């Protein structure tokens, strides 16, 4: 008698067929990056949708395509232009990788994305799951995805009671995902898994009565939909602070070019007194602020503005902005430049900085 392999044990054509049938009847079909095999548009949407909700992506996607209609146009664009069109969408490493990837596709593949998921996964910013999605939607490649939505669906349906982000558990999920791939209908199956996680098998209040996998769902049968998937063990969120200089003179604000890597890499921002430092450090005083601002001209007055908090994925930043009034402007050289305050909406700025400056740009304030 033939001994079943793990792959044989995990394979279940009825699972994929249930997902395909549901997607074709009830899934999403009108998103702007659907109903196309254009790998550029599919790739762009997949990168934008990483850790970002569809509703937030829609406007950015349309504006990005209007400015960069082809991968060649994106590859040839200045980096500051790319960052400006990404500004506010967050996770800026994605934008830097997006630009680098476009250049690689043009240079190495003549502007045509490869259809092999393994080759796609070697490009900047494209991991195994994103490569599989791009290949499935653009060329019908049979490749498994494993994003957050899929992990949640699998954890509930198959009753996986370990944290899916743990390597051992994630490796097992990948093996299951490979075994469940259908022979036909990979596009509907891939989209169906995404749609189930986004619209029915949501993190809170899943819509189990409408789910095509309800009759085989371990979490539903055992009343554990609120417990699965197992959440990541909590760690205390580090907190940091930054004192930012809001130097405004003659209707212009002084901006600083951030380094190409790190937090807000490649964006413009406000000059800082001492960078992002731990909360145990002393808060910058008015004298320290004035001393730091002296490089930009003759300081007449410094005045604290309302503080704000910005949450990154790995720490919380407490921002202390200081308004700096100059009696005489010095030369802005190197990584500093003056920007018209009324045009800050077009500057490649981090979201909290753009919001702060937009408020200050209201008529009558300066």
Give CA–CA dist 226/201, Å, rounded: 11
For CA atoms 104, 109, 115, 116, give the dihedral sign.
negative
Give CA–CA dist 144/92, Å, rounded: 26
In the three-class reduction of DSSP (H, G, I as helix; E, B as strand; rest coil), residue 165 is classed as: coil
Show the tokens assigned to 151.
Answer: 């992990």
Helix (H) or strand (E) holding 316: strand 316-329
In the three-class reduction of DSSP (H, G, I as helix; E, B as strand; rest coil), residue 8 is classed as: helix
The answer to whether residues 142 and 179 touch, using CB atoms and an 8 Å cutoff, is no
Catalytic site residue from 46, 187, 256, 272: 46
CA angle 159, 161, 162 (to 5 degrees): 140
The answer to whether residues 200 and 210 touch, using CB atoms and an 8 Å cutoff, is yes
Is 46 considered catalytic here?
yes
Measuring CA to CA, which residue among 338, 168, 140, 323 is closest to residue 247? 323
For CA atoms 49, 51, 54, 59, give the dihedral sign.
negative
By annotation, the residues acting in catalysis are 46
């Amino acid at each position: 008698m033939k001994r079943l392999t793990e792959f044989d044990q995990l394979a279940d054509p009825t699972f994929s067929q249930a997902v395909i049938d549901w997607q074709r009847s009830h899934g999403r079909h009108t998103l702007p990056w659907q109903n196309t095999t254009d790998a550029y548009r599919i790739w762009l949407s997949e990168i934008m949708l990483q850790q970002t909700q569809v509703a937030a992506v829609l406007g950015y996607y349309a504006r990005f395509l209007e400015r960069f209609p082809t991968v060649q146009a994106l590859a040839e664009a200045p980096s500051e232009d790319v960052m400006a069109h990404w500004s506010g969408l967050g996770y800026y490493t994605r934008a830097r990788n997006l630009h680098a990837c476009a250049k690689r596709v043009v240079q190495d593949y003549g502007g045509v994305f490869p259809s092999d998921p393994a080759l796609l996964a070697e490009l900047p910013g494209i991991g195994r799951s994103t490569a599989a999605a791009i290949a499935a939607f653009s060329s019908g490649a049979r490749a498994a995805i494993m994003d957050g939505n899929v992990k949640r669906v699998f954890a509930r349906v198959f009753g996986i009671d370990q944290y899916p982000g743990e390597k051992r558990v994630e490796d097992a999920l990948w093996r299951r995902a490979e075994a469940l791939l259908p022979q036909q209908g990979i596009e509907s199956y891939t989209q169906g898994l995404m749609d189930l996680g986004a619209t029915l098998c949501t993190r809170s209040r899943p819509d189990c009565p409408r789910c095509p996998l309800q009759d085989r769902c371990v979490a539903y049968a055992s009343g554990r939909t609120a417990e699965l998937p197992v959440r990541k063990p909590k760690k205390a969120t580090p907190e940091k602070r930054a004192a930012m200089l809001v130097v405004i003179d003659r209707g212009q604000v002084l901006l600083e070019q951030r380094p190409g890597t790190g937090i807000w890499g490649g964006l413009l921002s406000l000059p800082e007194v001492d960078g992002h430092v731990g909360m145990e450090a002393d808060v910058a005083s008015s004298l320290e602020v004035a001393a730091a601002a002296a490089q930009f001209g003759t300081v007449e007055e410094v005045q604290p503005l309302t503080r704000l908090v910005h949450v990154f994925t790995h720490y919380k930043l407490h921002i202390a902005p200081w308004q700096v009034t100059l009696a005489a402007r010095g030369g802005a050289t190197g990584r500093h430049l003056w920007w018209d305050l009324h045009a800050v909406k077009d500057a490649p700025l981090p979201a909290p900085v753009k919001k702060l400056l937009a408020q200050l740009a209201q008529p009558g304030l300066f």
